[in-house]
Structures are given as C-alpha cells and as structure tokens.
Amino acid sequence: MLTETSIKPAICFDNSYVKLGGRFYAKVKPTLVEQPGIVKLNYALAQDLGIDFDALDPESWAAIFSGNQILSGSEPLAMVYAGHQFGNFVPQLGDGRAILLGEVIDNANCRRDIQLKGAGLTPFSRQGDGRAALGPVLREYIISEAMHALGIPTTRSLGAVTTGEPVYREKVLPGAVLTRVALGHVRTGTFQYFAVQRDEKELRQLADYVIARHFPELKEEANPYLKLLEEVMEQQAQLVAKWMHVGFIHGVMNTDNMAISGETIDYGPCAFMDNFSQTKVFSSIDRMGRYAYGNQPSILQWNLTRFAETILPLIDKIPERAVDFANEVIEIYPQRFREYWLSGMRQKLGLFNSETEDESLIQSLLETMQENEADFTLTFRRLCDVALTPEKASSIRILFNDPSAYDNWAMKWRDRLSREFKTPEERFELMCQTNPTVIPRNHQVQLALKAAEEDGDYAPFEKLLEVLSSPYAVAEEYSEYLLPPKPDEHVLQTFCGT
Ligand code: AMP
Ligand code: MG
C-alpha cells in the first residue's frame, strides 16, 4: 500500500495544461486494473525527471504506472484533438486510451508530460477499449529509447507494466500500460480541433500556450504566430531529415501524430528498413503507400500546410494577407528540408565541406543501393571503415547484388574525397557519429516481443535495449544484432496493434 512517508512526493507534479480549461480535455481517471506488474523501469530517465525509483517499492510503482494509484498533485486528463487520418479529416479524435497524469519540471528546467498509454476508456475512446497490448507497449519502449540513443527527438518511455488482464485483438493478448514522457503532447491535430470549430479564442489560447512552453523567445516577435509556423516547420523538417538519415519509416504521419514540439510521437507500425528502398512500407494499414519512406518529406509539407491553415486567423486579420504570409513559410520548406537532409548525408559520406554536385553523388549511391538491394545501415557503417582503410571495400561490395555497381559509385566518392584535405582518421570519426552500427531491426524487435508475450521471458527485450543504448559504438560482441535478417527472418509487415 502506498503511503506518503517522505516529505518529497514520489513525483513532483507541476501542471499547466489543465489550466487551459475544460474545452481542451476531459478530466478522467485511469480504469483500475486487475494485477499490475512491473516489466521495466527507466532509471536513467527517472533521474533526469527528478523521480527517485528507489523511494518506493516496485509494487507501488506498478500501482502508479498502471493507473491504480493516483499520486497527489496528479490531475489526470485526456486531451482532445482532431486530425487528418490518411488524408481524411476527423473533427474529433482525442486521447482514446492515453491519460496525462500531469507535468514535471526536469533537471534541465524543462517541462515534461507524464502520460499513461493504455490506461482505460476516456470520452474519446470511440470504438476502442482504451487498452494496449504488451507487444506494442514493448515495441514503443524499444524503438522510442533507440531513437533517443540515436540522437533523434522523441517521446521517451519511463516504464512499462502488465495489467494482469487480457486485451482482445485478433487474438487474446496480455494487457499492458506504457508510461510515456514528452516535451509536450500538443499535435497539429490539437490546432485543427479548434480551427474547424472557428474557436478563435481557444485557438489563440492554444498558440500562446505552445509559444510559452516550447518557443518562449517568439513572444517578443512582431508576429509571434507567423514565427510559430516557421519554427514548427524548422523543427519538424529537422526531425524528418533525421528519420531519413537512419532509414526510419514512421508509418502513420497523420496530423494527429505530428507533435508541435518536434518530437517523434506515436510508435505504431513504424519500422527501420533493412535493404534500401524509397518505396518501402511496412504498415499493414498503409495500403496505398502514402507514408512510404521516400514520401515522408512531402507528407510533412502537406501536414505543415494543414497546420498553417489552422492559425491563419492569428497570423493576420486580413485573410488574403495571412495566406500570403503562411505560403512564404510553406514554400521555403523544401529548401530548408533539403539543407538539413544534405548536411546529414554529407556527414554520412565523410564530407566536411559542400560542393554543388554532392546531391547527385548521394542520390546515385541511394539509387545504386536500391537497385542492388543493399542494406542501408551496413552500407553506411562499412563506408566508415573503408574511408579509414580502403582495402576493406570487399565488406561493402558483398552487400550489393552486383558488386561492380558499388565500385562505379566508389570511384566518384574517392574522387570527391580527394578534393578535401582531411586525414582518413578525421573522416572516420565524422562518419561514425552519424552512421550507427545498430538499429532496432524488425526481426530482432519481433523476437524480443515474442519471447515476452509467449513465454514471459524478458531477457531478449532487456538485451536488445542494452545493445541499442549506444548505437554508434562499435560492438563486435553484439554481432547478431548488427546483421540484416536472414531470408527466413524477414519481417514484411508491421501492425499498429490498436
Ligand atoms: P493512432 O492511429 O494510434 O494515432 O490512434 C488514432 C486514434 O485512435 C487516437 O485518438 C487514439 O487515442 C485512438 N485509439 C487507438 N487505439 C485505441 C484503443 N485501443 N482504444 C481507444 N482509442 C484508441
Ligand atoms: Mg495517435
């Protein structure tokens, strides 16, 4: 039983979203679960948040992270939002199974949301049961923490618990709850919710809240709302460029899954690709390939345009002028994205300065990789070694169906490298910072989930987390995690598990 023995509460909540008022959320308590059990506690993250896991026993944390125990200072609520799902507008979605427990101020003086995902029914649950299954909870835990270790902005995972209750999907699965931490859960869809109702007062309130929380320096600008659009564009452009650099496919870039904070959010059917392909899709529900790897940058522009539309009335009272201002931002997006993308790709190839032909050098590598079904992560990682020791070229050549295709490209690369006065060591160091040795490969993730779901064996999950925690280090002892799937290990589809 939980008692408030210490003077300092287990989690020091400091809530701001709740102050926006009832139009922004529904106050709702998590639904009690049968038998909460700890699967994982993220001690490092807890420390950043000023939470001491050792202050309470594991049963207490199981009770807290299942929603059975509400700590003092927590003001649980489900946020309302709208969103375009696969291009179709839904005027009201909202947290159908997520409940925000409250906010904390972390050690870096940054406000962070603490939210339970899978905590039971809310007024926004629609046809859903408000619950999450163990597999998807572990999947989000693994991939979000891997993204963080890769240096990509993301929501984090503070804990995972089982509920002791079944959830009913295509089959009966063990239920679980994930504790998600975010810089903020406001989405493009949150703006859409108020914009479509023409609630200018709430819209302004939301925009002011977001500016104060995420972009406080914009308050002093002549037109803070136009600057907000620009800043969100910059953040999201950087984010998607980073996804492209590691072969990440989000899978559901609906506007309700685009965080205004610029973090990757909502790990459903997302996946990292093995062999490179611009048209790669894993998600079982993305039948048209709307959210294919190579479409992500242009989908972001579409989503940013939806965001811009919502704040037009704030940007200028005269609609035509507001549209002109917003259009300027949307139109510079492709150029900004390209700059972010190119700069990361140059680094991946070991290029320190820039030349106009670099883009075609990069594109020609990607095309060659696609034609030859070369593994994305291994190709780039082995390029680091080859930059240092040219004799190691055979390790890359074997990744290409036709090894001579690599040779042809590598001649152009060598030629380009020869125009920069850098030592092989300098180049190697630069490249290793952006070319991970290990990513959460689908077949490894699947093995870890299967062991946990079917046998209650969390050892593969723990091991995978450990391997993924330092993705840029050379980890020869983890060789099985570095390799692509064998032919019988290929994962063809991923599922959102809702
Ligand atoms: P997603 O595709 O995961 O972004 O979810 C879209 C919407 O469906 C969101 O409003 C979710 O809260 C809601 N949702 C997803 N799964 C469930 C569930 N099992 N129960 C209730 N709502 C859900
Ligand atoms: Mg979502």
- Please name the residue whose Cα sits nearest to atom 14 of ligand 1: 96
Q: Is the pLDDT of residue 99 over 60?
A: yes
For residue 156, the cross-strand partners are 181
Tokens 């506007």 appear where? Answer: 255
Q: What is the mean pLDDT of residues 176-201?
A: 97
Q: Where is average pLDDT lowest: 11-15, 139-143, 245-249, 493-497?
A: 493-497
Mark whether 67 and 110 lie in a shared domain.
Answer: yes
Mark whether 16 and 136 lie in a shared domain.
Answer: yes
Q: What is the mean pLDDT of residues 313-331?
A: 98
Tokens 């990361």 appear where? Answer: 344
- Ligand with minimal distance to 97 CA: 1
Specify the pLDDT at position 6. 46
Is the Cβ atom of 471 under 6 angstroms away from ligand 1?
no
Q: Is the pLDDT of residue 1 over 80?
A: no
Q: What is the mean pLDDT of residues 461-485?
A: 91
The answer to whether residue 471 sits within a structural domain is no
Q: What is Dmax (Cα atoms) for the chain?
A: 69
Q: What is the mean pLDDT of residues 80-97?
A: 98
Specify the pLDDT at position 474. 73
Mark whether 108 and 221 lie in a shared domain.
Answer: no
Mark whether 24 and 143 lie in a shared domain.
Answer: yes
Of the three residues 413, 434, 455, the one that is the final residue of a domain is: 434
Is the Cβ atom of 498 under 6 angstroms away from ligand 1?
yes
Specify the pLDDT at position 495. 85
Q: What are the pLDDT digits (tens) for 327-352?
A: 999 999 999 999 999 999 999 999 99
With 0-12 / 13-18 / 19 or more C-beta atoms within 10 angstroms meaning exposed / middle / buried, residue 475 is middle
> What does the block give as tokens for 308?
């811009």
Q: In angstroms, what is the span from residue 16 Cα to ligand 1's centroid?
A: 24
Mark whether 251 and 238 lie in a shared domain.
Answer: yes
The answer to whether residue 374 sits within a structural domain is yes
The answer to whether residue 203 sits within a structural domain is yes
Q: Is the pTM of this model over 0.95?
A: yes
Mark whether 335 and 412 lie in a shared domain.
Answer: no
Specify the pLDDT at position 89. 98
Q: In angstroms, what is the span from residue 97 Cα to ligand 1's centroid?
A: 6
C-alpha–C-alpha distance, residues 51 and 392, integer Å: 47
By C-alpha distance, which of 256, 262, 236 is closest to 88?
Answer: 256
Mark whether 118 and 247 lie in a shared domain.
Answer: no
C-alpha–C-alpha distance, residues 465 and 418, integer Å: 39
The answer to whether residue 417 sits within a structural domain is yes
Q: What is the mean pLDDT of residues 2-31?
A: 87
Question: What residues make up the domain containing 226?
Answer: 189-268+279-346
By C-alpha distance, which of 442, 362, 474, 357 is closest to 142?
Answer: 442
Mutate to test the pocket of ligand 1, among 31, 90, 97, 187 (most ligand atoms within 8 A of CB): 97
Q: What is the mean pLDDT of residues 268-279?
A: 97
Torsion-angle region of residue 193: left (phi > 0), alpha (psi -120 to 50) or beta? alpha
Is the Cβ atom of 175 under 6 angstroms away from ligand 1?
no
Mark whether 108 and 243 lie in a shared domain.
Answer: no
Is the Cβ atom of 128 under 6 angstroms away from ligand 1?
yes
Average pLDDT, the chain: 96
Of the three residues 149, 168, 186, the one that is the final residue of a domain is: 186
The answer to whether residue 402 sits within a structural domain is yes
Mark whether 325 and 417 lie in a shared domain.
Answer: no
Q: Is the pLDDT of residue 321 over 80?
A: yes
> What does the block give as tokens for 192?
């859409």
Q: Is the pLDDT of residue 5 over 60?
A: no
Specify the pLDDT at position 7. 57
Q: In angstroms, what is the span from residue 126 Cα to ligand 2's centroid?
A: 13
- Ligand with minimal distance to 155 CA: 2
What's the number of domains the chain is made of? 3
Specify the pLDDT at position 4. 47
The answer to whether residue 226 sits within a structural domain is yes
Is the Cβ atom of 168 under 6 angstroms away from ligand 1?
no
Q: In angstroms, what is the span from residue 129 Cα to ligand 1's centroid?
A: 9
Q: Are strands 88-90 and 83-85 parallel, antiparallel or unpaired?
A: antiparallel
pLDDT above 90 coverage of the chain, percent: 94
Q: In angstroms, what is the span from residue 285 Cα to ligand 1's centroid?
A: 14
C-alpha–C-alpha distance, residues 186 and 209, integer Å: 10
Per the CB < 8 A criterion, the answer to whether 174 and 162 are in contact is yes
Q: What are the pLDDT digits (tens) for 32-60?
A: 999 999 999 999 999 999 999 999 999 99
Active-site annotation, residues: 256
Q: What is the mean pLDDT of residues 179-203?
A: 97
Is the Cβ atom of 95 under 6 angstroms away from ligand 1?
yes
- Please name the residue whose Cα sits nearest to atom 8 of ligand 1: 96
By C-alpha distance, which of 95, 114, 121 is closest to 29?
Answer: 121
The answer to whether residue 447 sits within a structural domain is no
Q: Is the pLDDT of residue 266 over 80?
A: yes
Mark whether 63 and 52 lie in a shared domain.
Answer: yes
Q: What is the mean pLDDT of residues 241-266?
A: 98
The answer to whether residue 160 sits within a structural domain is yes
Of the three residues 328, 346, 364, the one that is the final residue of a domain is: 346
Mark whether 33 and 47 lie in a shared domain.
Answer: yes
Label residue 8 by pLDDT band (50, 70, 90).
confident
Q: What is the mean pLDDT of residues 338-367?
A: 98
Q: What are the pLDDT digits (tens) for 427-453?
A: 999 999 999 999 999 999 999 999 999
Per the CB < 8 A criterion, the answer to whether 140 and 23 are in contact is no
Q: What is the mean pLDDT of residues 85-110?
A: 98
SS3 per-residue string spanning the chain: CCCCCCCCCCCCCCCCHHHHCHHHEEECCCCCCCCCEEEEECHHHHHHCCCCHHHCCHHHHHHHHHCCCCCCCCCCEEECCCEEECCEEECCCCCCCEEEEEEEECCCCCEEEEEEECCCCCCCCCCCCCCEEHHHHHHHHHHHHHHHHHCCCECEEEEEEEEEEEEECCCEEEEEEEEEEECCCCEHHHHHHHHHCCCHHHHHHHHHHHHHHHCHHHHHCCCHHHHHHHHHHHHHHHHHHHHHHHCEECCCCCHHHCECCCCECCCCCCEECCECCCCCCCECCCCCCCCCHHHHHHHHHHHHHHHHHHHHHHHCCCHHHHHHHHHHHHHHHHHHHHHHHHHHHHHHCCCCCCCCCHHHHHHHHHHHHHHCCCEHHHHHHHHHHHHHCHHHHHHHHCCCCCHHHHHHHHHHHHHHHCCCCCCHHHHHHHHHCCCCCCCCCHHHHHHHHHHHHHHCCCHHHHHHHHHHCCCCCCCHHHHHHHCCCCHHHCCCCECCCC
Mark whether 380 and 339 lie in a shared domain.
Answer: no
